[in-house]
Amino acid sequence: MLIVIKEKNHESLIQKLQSMLSEKYGCESHIIGGNKRVLAVTGDTSGVDVEFLKNMDGIRSVDRVDRPYKLASRERKDRTMIEISKDCVIGDPKSVVMIAGPCSIDSEGQLDETAAMAKARDIKILRGGAYKPRTGPYSFQGKGEEGLKLIAKAGQKYGMKTISEIMKAEDLPLFEEYVDMMQVGARNMQNYELLKALGKSKKPVMLKRGLAAKLEEWLLAAEYILAGGNPNVILCERGIRTFEEEVRFTLCLGSVPALRELTHLPIIVDPSHAMGKTRWVKDAALGGVAVGADGLIVEIHPRPSESSCDASQLLDLEHWNECMDGVTAVAKAIGKRVV
């Protein structure tokens, strides 16, 4: 970290800073440069309150040289690869892993039919929401534990791994019992108690980007899970809120190459929630593969109009097959295979 002091010979300010940095944060600091106005701070600066320093009288600027996330940083390692099953590794540079299933688990029959639709395209991971974070309290909130039991059953029947959204730390034992992976939804990206609880699990966690989260905030959220002891974190770009109203969210595909430089964690793209319309999902999915995502998560349903949730963006059989054909072609063009 570099701290630049406004005027020359501010010795007392420099002394004050040096003792504060050492006593409060255990960091060393050294005066550098001929005019003695730059303080280079070394050691673990991740806990230093940069905003407080910037607001102190006599300080011109404070710049972090290191990123505030240590464990998620690319400096630590090149790539994390998470083995979901023998033939399905998320983060393998040669594969695009597909996750598909309904938005919400509405009934055993609906989930079974949807899982069959996914299985027909050899999908290895089945998604389905049992606890739904709905904008309004009167909308269907999900089937809860019963939904988790249903997805476990469908996963077993079709030989697929499963993922479902967890919304509160107290539900962790249920998720440990019934699913293979856990999803943290966009609205809970900053639910820090939940993230800490997931740090104690060993199951892979797919952390969706918050509706208005910067990459740094998202990576710091991932850092909570990593710091808790769970190395199996996957990031999911699902679009952010901007001034644009024609599309449901603005899919930030630029985050994929940017994250690739910043972190070793795998990155998945969710074209369904970003676009919000069935007919647009495929194109966004192809974009996700083209920019180098490690996988996609897509919502599908045999009869979207019957769904309790997100009916307007679900892929029916025809759109699903078109999407998979396109994804397979783009993956092949960039030397990857669809898993």
Please report how close the Cβ of residue 319 comes to ligand PEP at its closest, in angstroms.
17
Nearer residue to ligand PEP within complex by CB, 92 or 299: 299
- Region binding Mn ion by CB under 5 A among candidate stretches 16-24, 56-64, 100-108, 206-214: 100-108
> Quick one: which of 86, 161, 81 has its CA closest to 127?
161
Say whether residue 105 binds Mn ion (CB under 5 A): no
Nearer residue to Mn ion within complex by CB, 52 or 140: 140
> How big is the chain, counted in residues?
339
Say whether residue 310 binds Mn ion (CB under 5 A): yes
Nearer residue to ligand PEP within complex by CB, 38 or 311: 311
Say whether residue 106 binds Mn ion (CB under 5 A): no
Residue nearest to Mn ion (CB): 103
Please report how close the Cβ of residue 116 comes to ligand PEP at its closest, in angstroms.
20
Inter-residue contact 192 to 224 (CB < 8 Å): yes
Residue nearest to ligand PEP (CB): 185
Nearer residue to Mn ion within complex by CB, 106 or 310: 310
Place of tokens 């998720």: 175
Residues of this chain, 262-291, that bind Mn ion according to CB under 5 A? none
Please report how close the Cβ of residue 185 comes to ligand PEP at its closest, in angstroms.
3
Nearer residue to Mn ion within complex by CB, 72 or 150: 150
Work out what residue 37 binds among Mn ion, ligand PEP, none; the CB cut-off runs from 5 to 8 Å by kind: none
Nearer residue to ligand PEP within complex by CB, 208 or 282: 208
Please report how close the Cβ of residue 133 comes to ligand PEP at its closest, in angstroms.
6
Work out what residue 185 binds among ligand PEP, Mn ion, none; the CB cut-off runs from 5 to 8 Å by kind: ligand PEP
For the chain, give the secondary structure using H, E and C. Answer: CEEEECCCCCHHHHHHHHHHHHHHHCCEEEEECCCCCEEEEECCCCCCCHHHHHCCCCEEEEECCCCCCCCCECCCCCCCCEEEECCEEECCCCEEEEEEECCECCCHHHHHHHHHHHHCCCCCEEECECCCCCCCCCCCCCCCHHHHHHHHHHHHHHCCEEEEECCCHHHHHHHHHHCCEEEECHHHCCCHHHHHHHHCCCCCEEEECCCCCCHHHHHHHHHHHHHCCCCCEEEEECCECCCCCCCCCECCCCHHHHHHHHECCCEEECHHHHHCCHHHHHHHHHHHHHCCCCEEEEEECCCHHHCCCCHHHCECHHHHHHHHHHHHHHHHHCCCEEC
Nearer residue to Mn ion within complex by CB, 103 or 195: 103
Residues found near ligand PEP in the complex (CB under 6 A)? 103, 129, 133, 185-187, 208, 238, 270, 273
Say whether residue 103 binds Mn ion (CB under 5 A): yes
Nearer residue to ligand PEP within complex by CB, 41 or 269: 269
Say whether residue 259 binds Mn ion (CB under 5 A): no
- Region binding Mn ion by CB under 5 A among candidate stretches 1-9, 103-111, 261-269, 315-323: 103-111
Structure tokens at 206: 């797919």
- Applying CB under 5 A, the residues found at the interface with Mn ion are 103, 310
